[in-house]
Structure 1
Amino acid sequence: MTLSNGATPPTAGTSKCLPTVTPGECFWQIARDELSDHRSTDQLPEHSDIVIIGAGYAGVSTAYHLMKEGAATKTIAILEARGACSGATGRNGGHCRPDFYGHIPTYMDRAGDRAGAEIAEFEIANLRALKKVIEQENIDCDFTLARSVDVWCNEESATKAKAVYDRVVAAGFEYMEDAVFYTGDQVEGICGVKGAKGCASFTAGTMFPFKFISHLIRGLLAAGVNLQTHTPVTSITPDPQGGFIVETLRGKMHAGNVVHASNAYVSGLLPEYSKNIIPCKGICCRITVPEGVTPPLLNNSYINRAEDNTLSYFVPRADGSIIVGGAAAVFRPFKHQWYDNVDDSVLIDSAKDYYDGYMQRTYRGWEDTGAKVDKIWTGVMGYSYDSNPHIGHVPEKKGQFIIAGFNGHGMPVVWLAAKELAKMVANDVPFEDTSMPRLFQTSQFRIDRAQAGKEEDGDILGTGKLAATRP
Structure 2
Amino acid sequence: MVGTSLRYSKTDNVPSNSTAQLPSRPQSNPIPSFWTSQPQPLDDHRSTPTLPPSASIVIIGGGFSGIATAYHLLNTPNPPSIVLLEARKICSGATAMYGLSAAAELASFEAVNVYAVKELVEKEGLREECEFQVTRAVDVYLDEAHARQTEEAYRELMGCGGVDMRDIAFVSRKDAEKVSGVKGAHCAFSFTAAHLWPLKFIHGLLRQLLTKGPNVQANTPVTSISPAPDAHGNWTVHTPRGSISTPKVIYATNAYTCALLPSYARAITPIRGFCSHIAAPRGSPAPHLVNTYARSYDYLIPRTDGSIVVGGARQRFWHAPEHWFGTVRDDKVIDEAVSYFDGYMQRHFRGWEDSGAKTENVWTGILGYSADYMPHVGCVPGKPGQFVIAAFNGHGMPQILLSTKGLAKMVGKGVPFEETGMPRIFKTTKERIDRKDSPLEESFR
Matches within 5 A, 1:7-406: 16-70=23-77, 72=79, 74-88=80-94, 105-108=96-99, 113-139=100-126, 140-237=129-226, 238-305=229-296, 311-406=297-392
Counterpart secondary structure, 2:35: helix
2: CA distance, partners of 1:28 / 1:66: 27
Deviates more, 1:171-180 or 1:405-414: 171-180
Q: CA deviation at 1:344?
A: 1.4
Q: Work out the percentage of aligned pairs sharing the same amino acid.
A: 46
Contact 1:313 1:325 in 2 (8 A): yes
Residues 133 and 356 of structure 1: CA distance in aligned 2, closer, same or farther (over 3 Å): same
The code of the aligned residue for 1:132 comes to: E
1: CA distance, partners of 2:284 / 2:8: 46
Contact 1:12 1:19 in 2 (8 A): yes
The code of the aligned residue for 2:123 comes to: Q
Question: Where does residue 19 of structure 2 map in the other structure?
Answer: none
Residues 242 and 184 of structure 1: CA distance in aligned 2, closer, same or farther (over 3 Å): closer
Contact 2:266 2:371 in 1 (8 A): yes
1: CA distance, partners of 2:171 / 2:7: 50
The code of the aligned residue for 2:56 comes to: D
Contact 2:321 2:444 in 1 (8 A): no
Q: CA RMSD in A?
A: 1.8
The reply to whether residue 438 of structure 1 matches residue 434 of structure 2 is no
Counterpart secondary structure, 1:195: coil
Structure 2 residue ranges without an equivalent (≥5): 1-5, 10-21
Question: Where does residue 440 of structure 2 map in the other structure?
Answer: 460
Contact 2:7 2:24 in 1 (8 A): no
The code of the aligned residue for 2:184 comes to: G
Q: CA deviation at 1:125?
A: 1.1
The reply to whether residue 422 of structure 1 matches residue 422 of structure 2 is no
Counterpart secondary structure, 1:35: coil
2: CA distance, partners of 1:71 / 1:24: 41
The code of the aligned residue for 2:324 comes to: W
The code of the aligned residue for 2:105 comes to: E
Deviates more, 1:373-382 or 1:63-72: 63-72
Residues 324 and 462 of structure 1: CA distance in aligned 2, closer, same or farther (over 3 Å): farther
Contact 1:19 1:343 in 2 (8 A): no
2: CA distance, partners of 1:77 / 1:197: 50
2: CA distance, partners of 1:381 / 1:71: 35
1: CA distance, partners of 2:8 / 2:298: 33
1: CA distance, partners of 2:201 / 2:115: 15
Deviations 1:189-231 (A, max 9, x none): 1111112221121111111111110011111212111111111
Contact 2:371 2:441 in 1 (8 A): no
The code of the aligned residue for 1:162 comes to: E
Aligned positions, number: 424
Deviations 1:423-456 (A, max 9, x none): 111111111221111111111111121xxx1xxx
Contact 1:348 1:378 in 2 (8 A): no
Residues 391 and 405 of structure 1: CA distance in aligned 2, closer, same or farther (over 3 Å): same
Counterpart secondary structure, 1:460: helix
The code of the aligned residue for 1:130 comes to: V
Deviations 1:125-151 (A, max 9, x none): 111111111112221211111111111
Deviations 1:231-256 (A, max 9, x none): 11011112333311110122212122
2: CA distance, partners of 1:312 / 1:407: 14
Q: CA deviation at 1:464?
A: 9.4
Contact 2:140 2:187 in 1 (8 A): yes
Q: CA deviation at 1:41?
A: 0.9
Deviations 1:83-130 (A, max 9, x none): 0000026xxxxxxxxxxxxxxx4221xxxx322221111111111111
Contact 1:152 1:158 in 2 (8 A): yes
2: CA distance, partners of 1:349 / 1:338: 13
The code of the aligned residue for 1:257 comes to: K
Structure 1 residue ranges without an equivalent (≥5): 1-10, 90-104, 306-310, 466-471
The code of the aligned residue for 1:315 comes to: I
2: CA distance, partners of 1:252 / 1:160: 53
Residues 256 and 349 of structure 1: CA distance in aligned 2, closer, same or farther (over 3 Å): farther
Residues 292 and 184 of structure 1: CA distance in aligned 2, closer, same or farther (over 3 Å): closer
Q: CA deviation at 1:186?
A: 2.4
Contact 2:124 2:205 in 1 (8 A): no
1: CA distance, partners of 2:332 / 2:242: 30
1: CA distance, partners of 2:86 / 2:133: 29
Contact 1:70 1:426 in 2 (8 A): no
1: CA distance, partners of 2:98 / 2:360: 38
Contact 2:8 2:328 in 1 (8 A): no
1: CA distance, partners of 2:414 / 2:141: 45
Q: CA deviation at 1:169?
A: 1.4
Deviates more, 1:191-200 or 1:409-418: 191-200
